[in-house]
Structure 1
Amino acid sequence: MENIRPDDRLTALRAQLATLGASRKSAASRQTPSSTEFPARWAHGVLHDLYAATPVDAVAVNAFGLGAGVQAADGRIVVWGLHEMMGIEAGRPHGPGLHEMGLAPSDVLLVRAPDIQTLLVIGEEALRTPAVGAVLLSAWGEAKALSLTASRRLALAAETGGGTLFLARAGATPAPSAAETRWSVQAATSTPLEGGAPGRPSFSATLLRRRGGGEQRHWTLEWDRDARSFREPPLSGAVVPVAAQRPAEAWGERGRRVA
């Protein structure tokens, strides 16, 4: 797919989205995070801004956005639009890594975007498809195309289609947008599993802004691959059982699905 023109890429995306079908579960009610608890369910039909706290947290903000997308999708597919520059700077998705998050190839449709304009079109196209439960757009750097007007278009597309949009950005500073919530995300130290095995992916997430007001809140969270949700890490001294292993070969040799 490296030499495919952007127009052909979008045509392929539209064809794949059309095959997903029109059936979907009813959207959950619009809600925003509690002031004291991390949301068990993300608000549907809205835009959520996710910013990497530092450029080196690009991988963390993408993983956090992917987990949030899986939660918000509620069993439907997640479309992941990946800006090529993000892939160059932070690394492209790796099949075994996605497998370790508890994801199957059928859960995520990955689409690479050569530029920000194409990334925005991918977001709008995906959000118009009822079978898509959530969209993650990963962008690198400051970009004029990611303007307040562009965020309003994305928010409107999310509201119209009922899907949930997560805009993950790295190498950029928070800017005004039409987002329902704005977050700062960075990697956190994980809690070792039984036998000293590496712990679950862990994140430090700060809610910077919520539409309607409210104070900033902070959580330290880990991703539970079996429950496919975020959770607060166990108390110090608690032991977490090792998750069951699952075959990762289905992701293919390069470990990603591409439209």
Structure 2
Amino acid sequence: MHAINAWRGGGAPCAKDLAALRLALARIEARRDGGSQMASREHFSLGAPEVDAVLGGGLNRACLHEVLAPRGADWSAAAGFGLALALRAASGRPVLWARQDFLESETGRLNGVGLVEFGVDPAALSLVRGRDAEAVLRAGVDAARCKSLGVALIEIFGAPRALDLTATLRLARSAESSGVTLFLLRICVGEMTRAPPSAAVSRWRARAQNSQALLANAPGAPRFSVTLLRHRGGAADRSWRLEWQRDRGFFCETAETRHAALSGSFPALPADGALALPSGQRRAG
């Protein structure tokens, strides 16, 4: 995993930090290959038939999508769901992840072994760390202008002033111009009953879901409880429980979704984290 420690010294980037980020993006540009034609396709599917049908075949590339984590405990679910979407959208092209520095102490560092277990090639992932939301957003705009990137993940804590409609419009326009797909991960935003204006084409809320244990009680595949809050195609307020199939590289609906035909929002987990798990299941993520 390429690590770029960008803009750590203060609110404004220094020339050395900007040069480091631009050098990393130039290296990605130099590795450009024939994958650009695949990545330029208009849509990418999630792989789960019911979800793709609601989305009209899938989500748009070359635009901005949002994934929300209401609480800190939901970070792993939002990050995992966003990363899985990124892998679907990237089609094997490089991915850049920009995140705020202090999130490493709040949520933990990205782990190379964990990324591999999730299906990520660490060599294809570049990491940018910024001191504040402004720095991370600047990195996101730079990444969105790099035509050889497949995807950029932009991770922001809370609802800082810098993340307004103008900022999301800048990201969306850069994505449309370059063909890079952007995923804005917003951590600890609360329930956001009245979400702020955004240029994002889709907005999702993600929470952790119990996985199905494997033999010898080994951890099962990651599962997510996701709600589609907004979609420019018209669908909204639909919920699913999805499982990420690492070896196949796509989502599938869990038995609970298929059998119960769930819709609407799922209830939040108890604040103390206590939950009676069914026999043979364990918490994932």
TM beyond 0.5: yes
Partner of 1:253: none
Q: CA deviation at 1:138?
A: 0.9
Q: 1:70 to 1:30 in 2, by over 3 A?
A: closer
1:78 to 95, 108, 131: 95
| Letter matched to residue 60 of structure 2 | A
Q: CA deviation at 1:195?
A: 3.1
Which shows bigger deviation, 162-171 or 191-200? 191-200
Q: Tell whether 2:213 aligns with 1:192.
A: yes
Partner of 1:37: 51
Q: How many residues align?
A: 237
Which secondary structure does the structure 2 equivalent of 1:79 belong to? strand
Which secondary structure does the structure 1 equivalent of 2:59 belong to? coil
Which secondary structure does the structure 2 equivalent of 1:19 belong to? helix
1:199-218 deviations in whole A, cap 9, x for unaligned? Answer: 11111110001114233211
Q: 1:99 to 1:86 in 2, by over 3 A?
A: same
Tell which structure's C-alpha radius of gyration is larger: 2
1:13 to 21, 33, 46: 21
Partner of 2:274: none
Output the CA distance in 2 between the equivalents of 1:53 and 1:86: 15
Q: Tell whether 2:41 aligns with 1:28.
A: yes
Q: CA deviation at 1:234?
A: 5.4
Are the aligned partners of 1:76 and 1:131 in contact in 2 as well (CA < 8 Å)? yes
Q: Tell whether 2:158 aligns with 1:137.
A: no
Output the CA distance in 1 between the equivalents of 2:140 and 2:84: 17
1:208-256 deviations in whole A, cap 9, x for unaligned? Answer: 01114233211111221112222223579xx9xxxxxxxxxxxxxxxxx
Are the aligned partners of 1:102 and 1:225 in contact in 2 as well (CA < 8 Å)? yes
Partner of 2:265: none
| Letter matched to residue 180 of structure 1 | V
Are the aligned partners of 1:80 and 1:109 in contact in 2 as well (CA < 8 Å)? yes
Q: CA deviation at 1:31?
A: 7.2
TM-score (norm 2): 0.76
Partner of 1:175: 196
Identity, in percent, stands at 37
TM-score (norm 1): 0.83
Are the aligned partners of 1:123 and 1:135 in contact in 2 as well (CA < 8 Å)? yes
| Letter matched to residue 117 of structure 1 | E
1:73-123 deviations in whole A, cap 9, x for unaligned? Answer: 111011000112322221121122112102222221111111111111111
Segments of structure 1 that go 5 or more residues without pairing to the other structure are: 240-259
Output the CA distance in 2 between the equivalents of 1:13 and 1:222: 34
Q: 1:31 to 1:201 in 2, by over 3 A?
A: closer
| Letter matched to residue 170 of structure 2 | R
1:156-208 deviations in whole A, cap 9, x for unaligned? Answer: 01101101100001112332100000100011001112332111111111000
Q: 1:187 to 1:226 in 2, by over 3 A?
A: same
Output the CA distance in 2 between the equivalents of 1:116 and 1:194: 43
Are the aligned partners of 1:65 and 1:168 in contact in 2 as well (CA < 8 Å)? yes
Q: 1:192 to 1:218 in 2, by over 3 A?
A: same
1:154 to 162, 171, 178: 171
- Structure number with greater CO (CA < 8 Å, separation at least 6) is 1
| Letter matched to residue 51 of structure 1 | L
2:182 to 162, 165, 171: 165
Q: 1:115 to 1:63 in 2, by over 3 A?
A: same
Which secondary structure does the structure 1 equivalent of 2:242 belong to? strand
| Letter matched to residue 18 of structure 1 | A
